[in-house]
Structure 1
Amino acid sequence: MSDSPAGRVARSTVCPNGETVRSAPMRTFLSTADGVLIDSVYDPRSVVYETGALRDGENDTSGPPGDHLAFVVSHGFTGAADRPHVRRVAEALRRYGSVVTFSFRGHGASGGRSTVGDREVLDLAAAVRWARELGHARVVSVGFSMGGSVALRHAALHPGDADAVVAVSAPARWYYRGTAPMRRLHWLVMRPEGRLVGRYGFGTRIHHQEWDPVPLSPVEAAARIAPTPLLVVHGDRDGYFPLDHPRSLAEAAAGHAELWLESGMGHAEHAVSDGLLGRIGDWSVRRAG
């Protein structure tokens, strides 16, 4: 475990085939602004584009860490950095840049208790700061479900921290109970017996206190993050949030947002395909320059 993440930049060598190979992943606990320790993993980029293969307007990702981008991935509620679907996302995005994954407070090996998207903004801020300390000049924040709402609020509350934002399967507003999965989630969060199920059934420690004040909503945040590029991705078979959520986010960020409605896709990390992750990687390389 690293006591000084900024001092442990991964070394790199250039192979004859033009690929860049870096050292093994690093793992550490990051301290947030309110003193919570967040379990975090750095996966160096695995393959870089060949310079001659870039299309007009794309960025050359070859060179040392400061010359290419890093993705900071925020998982959904009850996820964690070590969950297989989060590892799959990280592995896919490593083709386009290095990847920082982490477990939100109350999840996995991180400390604290989940506030279901409120103070989690501080967790993401710590992970983005680590990516910058490791030498990355460009950072793309990629969030799924709850992590998508956190990515939006982080971009609004910490302008300039991220060079681009991708929100996948994110809600547009709080307290939505229009689907059966969201009604179950509210029971899990709001009821003492639900929080016990969260702790022992899902490995998620949920704070018992309600929001006070209610945090900035994702749709309000989307309206405030210009000129940061925003990509909103949502499946038309999402069982948690219907299509009015992504459309509201894109409309709020009109002029600097793109909306991808994916046919046949369900919800968040479990549903995102490798092909879609590749398209997200391509979009990030183009927009995070």
Structure 2
Amino acid sequence: MRISSLALSFGFFAFGTPSALAKNNLKLEKRLGASPSSATRSLESRIIGGSNASLDDYKYIAYLSVVGRNEFKCTAELIAPNVVLAAAHCLSIGGVADSSKWDQIQVGFGAVKGTASDENTYSVKNVVIHPSYVNREPYNNDIALLFLEDCVDPDTAVPVEIDTNPVNKSDTFKVAGFGYTSVNGSPSTTLKELSLSLGRQDYCNALFAEDNAEGKIICLGVSAGSTVCTGDSGGPMVGSDGSKIQGISSSIITVNGKGCDAESTVAIYVLLSYYWDDFI
């Protein structure tokens, strides 16, 4: 197998430029039994093979949409009455990272409706993207905070607590999102969830050795019939009891040119405990 690219969890976008960590032609054949290849990061992440989630278990869940772009969706979380946690690349890919475009961002709760007239939809007054995030491969520090114009009605959504302790990598984690439910499908209007555990560390370390060692990310194992994919970017990763959020979805490493439909690969989740003191 060969690692051919990294895919951001918004959609199927392949980048022509190899990852800086790959230094062009990253040779993996000795370790992975493959021919030389470049490693890049692309944009995919949705839940395939999951089950319908109860919104009672995800009272904090949110989705991001952009006015005039019906095809654009990302998943997010309410972490304070007027603060939403999201993947930074969602803002860049959505074309709304610049302050002049913030009024185009819609944040909805409870279901994917994406209409400005929806009483569960809120506007954004300020966005803070992690200062070390750069919108090019490998897209490290893929995390952002959105400050809403108004506090969310507690009858609509309730902020989730962030787990500030390092994760136990031997745990099984639940992930959720509003992303596609099939490779060639469309975003789900029903929240989906999936249980995942630690994935192949050789794949993970081929692109994220330093971040993995520092506890900035975790690589969870996914496969063609059981994975996150387009639309799940920013979606939560929670522990077995589901009471605290531990990470958010960022990307998928594609293998042999396949991401969500790869036989076996890893999904990258940003770990929030690392960012608690200096960003969140």
Q: How would you bin the TM-score normalised by the shorter chain?
A: under 0.3
Structure with bigger gyration radius? 1
- Specify which structure has the bigger relative contact order, considering alpha-carbon pairs within 8 angstroms and separated by 6 or more residues: 2
TM-score under structure 1 length normalisation: 0.25
TM-score (norm 2): 0.26
- Larger strand proportion of the pair: 2
Structure (1 or 2) with the greater helix fraction = 1
